[in-house]
Amino acid sequence: MTTRERRKPGLWVVVPAYNEAGAIGAVLNGLHEYLPRVVVVDDGSSDRTSEIALESGAAVVRHAINLGQGAALQTGIDYALARNAARVCTFDADGQHDSDSIAALNAALTSSGADVALGSRFLGSAPQMPALRRSTLRAAVALTRLQTGLRLTDAHNGLRLFTRAAAERIRIRQPGMAHASEILAAIAHERLHYVEVPTRVNYTAYSIAKGQSVTNSVKILFDLVYAAWTR
Amino acid sequence: MIGSILLFAIIIFGMYVASHRLGGLQLLAALGLLAVGITFVVWPNAAQWVADHVGVGRGADLVVYFAIVGGLFAVANFYFRFKRQEQQLIAIVRELALRNARARR
- Pair B38, B69 in one domain: no
Shortest Cα distance from A98 to chain B (angstroms)? Answer: 24
pLDDT at B47: 81
Band (B105; pLDDT cuts 50, 70, 90): low
The answer to whether position B78 is within a domain reads yes
**How many structural domains compose chain B?**
2
- Using a CB–CB cut-off of 8 Å, the residues of B that contact A are 80, 83, 86-87, 89-90, 93-94, 96-98, 100-105
The arrangement of secondary structure in A3-230, i.e. its CATH architecture, is Alpha-Beta Complex (3.90)
- pTM for this prediction: 0.81
DSSP H helices, chain A, are 3-6, 24-30, 49-55, 69-82, 100-112, 131-148, 164-169, 179-189, 205-210, 216-230
More confident call, B23 vs A48: A48
- Pair B38, B67 in one domain: no
Helix (H, G, I), strand (E, B) or coil at A12: strand
Nearest-angstrom CA–CA distance, A140 and A152: 10
Paired residues of A119 in beta bridges: A197
Mean pLDDT of chain A: 89
The answer to whether position B50 is within a domain reads no
First to last CA, chain A: 43
The answer to whether position B103 is within a domain reads yes
Residue B39 CB contacts under 8 Å (≥ 6 apart), including other chains: B46
Residue B101 has its nearest CB partner, among A59, A71, A230, at A59
Q: Please, are residues A113 and A189 in contact by the beta-carbon 8 Å criterion?
A: no
What is the span of the domain harbouring residue B37?
1-42
In this prediction, what percent of chain A has a pLDDT beyond 90? 61
Chain B partners within 8 Å of A60 (Cβ): 101-103
The answer to whether position B94 is within a domain reads yes
The upper half-sphere exposure of residue A156, i.e. CA atoms within 13 Å in the direction of its Cβ, equals: 24
The answer to whether position B1 is within a domain reads yes
Tens of pLDDT, residue by residue over A64-110, are: 999 999 999 999 999 999 999 999 999 999 988 999 999 999 999 99
Task: Please answer yes or no on whether B105 and A2 come within 8 Å at the CB atom.
Answer: yes
- Pair B5, B38 in one domain: yes
- Pair B31, B71 in one domain: no
Task: Please answer yes or no on whether A74 and B100 come within 8 Å at the CB atom.
Answer: no
pLDDT at B25: 75
Shortest Cα distance from A89 to chain B (angstroms)? Answer: 18
Residue A63 has its nearest CB partner, among B83, B87, B93, at B93
Q: Is the CB of A78 inside 8 Å of chain B's CB atoms?
A: yes
Shortest Cα distance from B68 to chain A (angstroms)? Answer: 22
More confident call, A14 vs A147: A14
Q: Which of residues 131-190 of A touch B (CB under 8 A)?
A: 173, 175
Among A98-112, A127-141, A173-187, B23-37, top mean pLDDT goes to A98-112
According to DSSP, the β-strands at A85-90 and A160-163 are antiparallel
Region of poorest pLDDT, from A66-80, A102-116, A173-187, B84-98: A173-187
- Pair B71, B32 in one domain: no
DSSP characters over A149-166: ----S-S--S-EEEEHHH
pLDDT at A92: 94
Task: Please answer yes or no on whether B97 and A54 come within 8 Å at the CB atom.
Answer: no
Domain ranges of chain A: 3-230
pLDDT at B62: 80
Dihedral sign of CA atoms A107, A112, A116, A120 in order: negative
Q: Is A40 exposed, middle or buried (0-12, 13-18, 19+ CB in 10 A)?
A: buried
The answer to whether position B51 is within a domain reads no
Nearest-angstrom CA–CA distance, B45 and B58: 10
